[in-house]
């Protein structure tokens, strides 16, 4: 786990919508182009905003950096592998992590920028994350000590030391990484990394870590095959550049 730091709306409504609204990405998940993407909710990546999961206010607004992240960091929460795949459980997970980060570690807010539940529900994490992505910029999280200034973190619910990753979570993880790589113009073969690549931790667990080459390949294939048809939840910016004790590995405790 890191430990640092849906709304069905049209593209037109999103571009002129309120900053607090959740986001929805629509893009082909297989051959068939845009028509397939519009065939049903199963083909849509939904990003649930902080208001949806009833996040508490941060102690202070997160710092918005004037550059894009260059790495996407994969974490697991190291919490029980629940069989509850509901949206309610996803919201509850975000509240639990935020409470732990703020009350136990004393941080200003939840550490990671995005959280994915075992049911595949994607939630905004640290405050200002979605507005930062909308602007092609980076909100400073607390999910990778010493590297928060250039990495965006995705927290995946569960413990993947040897347990398989649920299909719903995997699908949303691929979609989310594809979205971020497209928005920030990142090469998935270089950008997608694990927490353990930067520190002494087993996060995100051997089972998930061993699938990262597959994740990079799936994301790259998605971007190559569907780039002309992608309709993301925000305009693509012009940029080049609950074992509570396990919620935060000791070596990642500081916010910076």
In sequence order, the 6+-apart residues with CB closer than 8 A to the CB of 241 are 67, 68, 70
pLDDT for 1 equals 52
CA angle, residues 118, 28, 120, in degrees to nearest 5 = 5
**Rounded Cα gap, residues 206 and 188, in angstroms:** 20
Question: 11-242: which CATH topology?
Answer: Lysozyme-like (3.40.80)
Q: Are 118 and 20 in contact (CB under 8 A)?
A: no
All structural domains of the chain with their residue ranges: 11-242
Q: What is the pLDDT along the chain (256 residues), one digit of tens a residue?
A: 544 333 222 222 222 233 345 665 544 333 222 222 323 444 568 899 999 999 999 999 999 999 999 999 999 999 999 999 999 999 999 999 999 999 999 999 999 999 999 999 999 999 999 999 989 999 999 999 999 999 999 999 999 999 999 999 999 999 999 999 999 999 999 999 999 999 899 999 999 999 999 999 999 999 987 544 455 554 444 333 333 334 444 334 445 4
> Beta 122-124 vs 114-116: how paired, if at all?
antiparallel
**Rounded Cα gap, residues 201 and 182, in angstroms:** 29
Q: Are 45 and 63 in contact (CB under 8 A)?
A: no
CA-nearest of 53, 58, 152, 145 to 106 is: 58
Q: H or E segment at 95?
A: helix 87-99
| C-alpha R_g of the chain | 16
Q: Are 90 and 53 in contact (CB under 8 A)?
A: yes
Q: Are 75 and 195 in contact (CB under 8 A)?
A: yes
The residue to which tokens 């570690």 are assigned: 105
Question: In Å, how far are 12, 28, 121, 122, 156 from 167, measured between CA atoms?
Answer: 31, 18, 12, 14, 12
- Paired with 73 in beta bridges are 153, 193
């Amino acid at each position: 786990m890191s430990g640092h730091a849906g709304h069905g709306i049209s593209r037109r409504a999103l571009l002129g919508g309120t900053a607090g609204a959740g986001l929805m990405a629509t893009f082909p998940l297989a051959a068939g182009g845009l028509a397939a993407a519009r065939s049903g909710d199963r083909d849509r990546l939904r990003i649930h905003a902080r208001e949806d999961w009833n996040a508490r206010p941060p102690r202070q607004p997160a710092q918005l950096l004037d550059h894009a992240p260059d790495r996407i960091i994969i974490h697991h929460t190291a919490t029980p592998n629940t069989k509850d795949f509901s949206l309610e459980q996803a919201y509850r997970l975000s509240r639990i992590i935020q409470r732990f980060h703020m009350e136990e570690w004393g941080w200003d807010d939840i550490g990671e920028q995005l959280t994915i539940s075992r049911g595949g529900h994607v939630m905004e994490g640290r405050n200002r994350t979605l507005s930062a992505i909308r602007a092609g910029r980076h909100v400073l999280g607390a999910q990778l000590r010493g590297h928060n200034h250039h990495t965006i973190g995705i927290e995946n619910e569960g413990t993947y030391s040897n347990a398989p990753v649920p299909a719903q979570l995997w699908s949303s993880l691929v979609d989310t990484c594809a979205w971020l790589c497209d928005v920030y113009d990142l090469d998935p073969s270089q950008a997608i990394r694990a927490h353990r690549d930067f520190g002494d931790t087993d996060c995100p667990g051997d089972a998930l870590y061993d699938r990262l080459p597959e994740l990079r390949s799936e994301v790259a294939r998605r971007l190559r095959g569907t780039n002309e048809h992608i309709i993301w939840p925000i305009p693509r910016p012009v940029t080049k550049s609950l074992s509570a004790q396990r919620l935060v590995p000791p070596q990642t405790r500081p916010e910076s």
